[in-house]
Amino acid sequence: MPWQRMVADIAGEYDEATGSPIYREVNVTVPRQSGKTTLTLAITLDRSLMWGRPCRSAYTAQTGLDARQKMVNDWMPLLRRSPFKSTIDRELRGAAETAIEFRTGSRVEVLATGEDSGHGRTLDLGFIDEAFADEDDRREQALVPAMTTIRDAQLYVMSTMGTGRSTFLNRKVATGRALVEAGITQGIAYFEWSAPDDADPDDPAVWAACMPALGFTTDISAIRHARMTMPDGEFRRAFLNQSREHDARWLPSGAWAARRHPQGLGMPPDGADITLGFDGSYNNDATALVGCTLEGHLFKVAVWERPAGASDSWVVPRHEVEAAVHNAFARWRVRALAVDTSRWVSETQDWRARYGSDVVIDVPQSRARMIPASALFYKGVVQGLVTHDGDTDLGRHLANAITRETPDGAYVSKEGRHSPLKVDLAIAAVLAYQAAMTLQPHTTTTVEFIRL
């Protein structure tokens, strides 16, 4: 794409007298799904195959696991399907060592994110991908010292914009903008595609101006759909590449209140088909049980929160929780109970034995599971597919929930590990709603996320 060619051409400029690159550091920030992966791989191939000597490159992402998945799931398949397949000597896919070795003697490997991960290495090329996730300089501290003895080494920092917590990327952006403003054209190359903060996020002309992949790998209809279904802050960061000061509140103001059932429906009648979502804790956080009809009506079954002024010895009354679950199964026809078993292992085993392993479903709160579940719930609220019973506790927990941004999407989360603002009813509602929608014929594709 033109934007990729521009970055490659300018970043590849070199001093004819020394043979070294004009820019030792290249910083690129673009919206999501713009083609960073293919650009990064092309630059790596150039360094590995075309520089006339064996070169060693290192790739890092927000975590070591994310970096390994990128190399194994994206880079390696692309290479095997390309004319460059014959240049590969071998692929290493282990958790302890993930790398691609070329017949030229060059090697590109995944490095962990610790500041000492580059010790003992000499690198020609380094990548800090998804830099928005970094709250410190540890990845740069791992790569830069390993490159200091290589005259023509280059460091690439690539990312979509982050939040106020993205201290590393925010510093790179501020430095890059200042260098561009000052007209400095050596040392650091800075590229940014983003919309001004006061731009209209609903205007397709704004999208076209800041999304360099629009018309190539994405189209207007896909962006329009994203605008309709994503939280405003997430959309602005992901597709307008606007930095957000903090993780945004999850649901739009007034959206949940507007979904109260018009006839004032509370709990469904006895014997109704429902699903349950359970989010359990031990002492500090709340424990919540939420129900959902197969039509998408949500209602609070029960919640246990630490009372104000309670001593540090207070714990969730587990016998009350077990009784509430048993009573729910006795009252309604429970088609699925989605539960994170991390702190309720023995109880979950008992529920499985009592109600069936096909009914009691373990849903650990990992990103892979919570991102699609959160997106489904958000879409249900903003598009009017959800109703609820007007419970104030459920509304309070949803109002407390924030959006956590990741390269793969956003998910509902607590404001901070030690925040007094509880979100357990919100998590339980998300799990219950996703479980209910998997039982609908038009949403059966989400069942695999629940049953993994």
SS (H, E, C) 373-437: HHHHHHHHHHCCCCEECCCHHHHHHHHHCEEEEECCEEEEECCCCCCCCCCHHHHHHHHHHHHHH
- For residue 185, give both structure tokens: 């054209």
Q: Which amino acid is at 303?
A: V
Instruction: Please list the pLDDT of the chain residue by residue as tens digits (452 residues).
Output: 999 999 999 999 999 998 899 999 999 999 999 999 999 999 999 999 999 999 999 999 988 888 999 999 999 999 999 999 999 999 999 888 999 999 999 999 999 876 566 566 899 999 999 999 888 899 999 999 999 999 999 999 999 998 877 889 999 999 999 999 999 988 999 999 999 988 999 999 999 999 999 999 999 999 999 888 777 778 888 999 998 765 567 887 788 999 999 888 889 999 999 999 999 886 666 899 999 999 999 999 999 988 877 777 888 889 999 999 999 999 999 999 999 877 788 899 999 999 999 999 988 778 888 889 999 999 999 889 999 999 999 999 998 888 877 767 778 888 777 677 889 999 999 999 999 999 865 443 333 333 22
Q: pTM value?
A: 0.64
Model confidence over 233-275: pLDDT tens digits?
788 889 999 987 655 678 877 889 999 998 888 899 999 999 9
β-bridge mates for residue 296, sequence order: none
Cα separation, 446 vs 434, in Å, equals 8
Encoded tokens for 36: 């960073």
| Spans of all domains in the chain | 2-192, 204-239, 257-451
Q: Domain 2-192 is of which CATH architecture?
A: 3-Layer(aba) Sandwich (3.40)
Show the tokens assigned to 174: 């501020």
Which DSSP string corresponds to 47-114?
HHHSSSS--EEEEE-SSHHHHHHHIIIIIHHHHHTSGGGGGEEEEEE-SS-EEEEETTS-EEEE--SS
Cα dihedral value 168, 172, 178, 180, nearest 10? -170
d(CA 198, CA 223): 19
Distance in angstroms between the alpha carbons of the first and the last residue of the chain? 37
CB 101 within 8 A of CB 49: no
Domains 2-192 and 257-451 share a fold: no
Alpha-carbon distance 7 to 52, whole Å? 22
Phi, psi of 143 (to 5 degrees): -90, -45
Strand, helix or coil for residue 334: strand
Indicate the length of the chain as a whole number.
452
Helices (H), 84-239: 138-147, 167-182, 204-210, 220-229, 232-239
Alpha-carbon radius of gyration of the chain: 25
Q: What are the start-end ranges of the E strands in 236-388?
A: 273-279, 287-293, 297-304, 333-339, 360-362, 387-388
Domain 257-451: top CATH class = alpha beta
Q: CA-CA distance, 356 to 388, in Å (whole number)?
A: 28
- Checking DSSP bridges between strand 402-406 and strand 107-110, what pairing results, if any? unpaired
* Rounded alpha-carbon distances, angstroms, from residue 263 to 10, 34, 297, 303: 63, 46, 12, 24
pLDDT of residue 118: 57
